[in-house]
Each structure stands twice: as C-alpha cells, then as structure tokens.
Structure 1
C-alpha cells in the first residue's frame, strides 16, 4: 500500500508504504523499538532477532511495517489463533511472550501482538493505516475477527473512583479520553471485556481492554 502524507509543520509531502517486513528489516525494527520505548523501559523487552524471525517466517501476513521515504517508522505484528472464552487471557500466554510459536494456521482470530509508531511521526495517522491494513488481512484470510488487549494508561488517575470496566465504558461514551482506547475506537475496534494482569503496566494498573473488530464479510454461525 502506497500513499502520500503531509508532514505537520514542515509543509512537505512524504511517501508512505505499508508492507510486510523481513530479515533485512530486523535491525531497523529493533532501532524503532528503542525510539518508541526509551529508558527507563528495559531494553531487554524490545524485539530481538529471534522473535522477529518467528514473526516474518511463521506468519508473514501478520508482520507489517510502515515506511516513510525509505525509513521504517512504524510496525504492527499479529498471529492467528482460535480464542476460547475460558482460555487464560494475558499478553504473554496469547503471544507466546512475543515469539508467536503458538500461531495456528487455521485460527479464526487475528490477535494483535504489538503496534508502535516512531514518536516523531505519530501525527500522520500511521497507526490507523497499520490497523486498517491488518483489517484487510483479516478479510483476506477469511478470519472471524481481529482481537487484542489495549492498554488503558489513563486509568490510574481515575482508579480510586471507578473500576476498569466503568473507566472503559466512560471512554467509549466520550466522557473520558484515553490515548490508547480512544485511538482504537477511532479505528473501529470495540471493547468486549477487560483483562486483569494482562501486562505489567503501572499506568493501567496491569489491566487491558480487550478490543475487537469483526469481519463484516464473515457470517457468524
């Protein structure tokens, strides 16, 4: 996918490409993680080459990157699984700690592992373009839906007055804004639940909103 985007404040158009990433991109993807998650975020939690190799070889359709004028400035990774309602739901178990060796070639759900955009390029709508590209993958593969846990980083300051479910509901109603959940709502994803101890995240108090996009071309049985 190729399009032109306007760089705010610079008065110039940039060429944006959404494509699958491969081995030749690994160093640039790790550098992207460093820019997106600087210290005090621990560097050992950035992608490593073994994880990236699993993404690119085990499920290449779910390994996407955004490239602006030849520089990788965003990425999105997913795997394919069938999610049962009684299955323990946290990031580590659903993504095999980011290695996706639990990928199921015939799974009915595209599950989001990660989405990140270089801070310098976050006003270009790259996250939304990556998300829409993954929606296209859901449709192309005939999967039932896209699903993933979204951080709720605005929750901590409201936690004394409401539970996480009420917080997510208020964000959906527009009474509150959350930098992650509001973005996902704008992309067309809707909440289907809240998971405790999803990922170690102080701002979210380790909660995550489970956000879904259903394939409109797939008939539910």
Structure 2
C-alpha cells in the first residue's frame, strides 16, 4: 500500500504518506511505540526489531505506517487468522503469537489487529482513522470476512467498583461515558461483539478488552 494525502492538524494542512513499513523504519517504529505508550503501559509489550522483522516476513500487507517529513507518526499491524481457531476468549499473546505473528494464516477469514498507535502530537489529525480505513481496504482487497481486534478500556479502572467490564462497554456504546479507545473505535465503524478478560497485562483496563469488529460490507448479508 502507498497513498499520499493531506490531513489537517490545528487547522493547518499536513502532507502524509500511508505505506507499508520496511526494515529501514524499525528505529522510527520503536520510537513511536515508546512515545505513544508511556508507563504504566508494560514496556515489554512494545515492539522490538525481531517482532517487526517477523511482521514483514509473514504479512507485509498488514504492516502499515504513516510518515510525514521523514518521521513515523503512526502505525498499525495485523495478521490473518481463522477466527474459529481462537473464538472470543483469546488473549493478545495467544492470537498474535506474542507479537511475532508466526501464526499468520493466509487461508484465514479474519484480519486481526495486533496494534495501532499514533504519536500524541498528531492525534487530532485523524491519523488513527485513516490507518483504520486503510486496513478496512486491505480486508476488502483480500476478500476477508472481517477486521477484528480488542480495544483497551483505559478508563475502566475509574469505574471498576460500580461497573462490570460488559456494563462499562455498554455505557460507552450508549454514549453515557467516554473511553478514549472505545469511543475512537466506535467512531471508526467498529462494533462490539464481547469482552475478553485477562486479555492483556494492562493496569488501566484491569486486563479487560472489548472485542470490536468491522465486517466486510461486500460480503455482509442483511439479517432476515
């Protein structure tokens, strides 16, 4: 994938390129991760060069980045799986092979999102939405059934004493509370299909994540 476009940051046009990342981008990708996921996010969950190399070995079409003026300001990584092999009770480590995606299955039906991050300085420019749109295009191009991924619930720890993870997700869907990740995914067209417990070692989410799906509209059948 390679596309040039203009986004707007604080009302000013910003030329960007969305493309597949390469070996030359490793340092920029790792710097982006460090900037995007500061503590208490576990440092061991940030990409390393070996993982990035495996992404390119197994599924380069699912390795996307956003560049402006030679700087990597966003990235998104996915792999193809057969959802029936994992169901809805999987963990991040299981379904992404601890981030190495050696379990990528070219014959699968689902593009699974392993990671999405955007530099904090550029989050008001719609970079995350354009990455998501680009991955939707990949789903359509490869004739897959869906895009699926689990969204962190970073606001959940604030409400944990009064709400279950499922109730928290329901309130986010109804707009009764705003979660920075879940609300973003809803605005991108993702739909919730459940909650995964013990999905990721994430203090803010207390280990929970919302499974959020986007179905290929060219394969989707209307309900009877």
Query: Size of the alignment, in residue pairs?
Result: 219
Q: Deviation digits for residues 169-219 of structure 1, max 9, x if unmatched? A: 111011111000000000000100000000011111100000000000015
Give the C-alpha shift of residue 42 in structure 1.
4.8
1:2-81 alignment runs, 5 A limit: 2-8=4-10, 12-39=12-39, 41-81=41-81
* TM-score in terms of structure 2 length: 0.93
- Rounded to whole Å, the distance in 2 between the matches of 1:40 and 1:164 is 20
- Rounded to whole Å, the distance in 1 between the matches of 2:186 and 2:156 is 16
- Rounded to whole Å, the distance in 2 between the matches of 1:25 and 1:198 is 28
RMSD: 1.7
Partner of 2:191: 190
**Contact persistence 1:19–1:65 (CA under 8 A):** yes
Partner of 1:100: 101
* TM-score in terms of structure 1 length: 0.94
**Contact persistence 1:14–1:69 (CA under 8 A):** no
Task: Give the stretch that moved more between structures: 35-44 or 104-113.
Answer: 35-44
1:137-176 alignment runs, 5 A limit: 137-176=138-177
Give the C-alpha shift of residue 40 in structure 1.
5.1
Task: Give the stretch that moved more between structures: 137-146 or 31-40.
Answer: 31-40
Partner of 2:115: 114
- Rounded to whole Å, the distance in 2 between the matches of 1:44 and 1:190 is 29
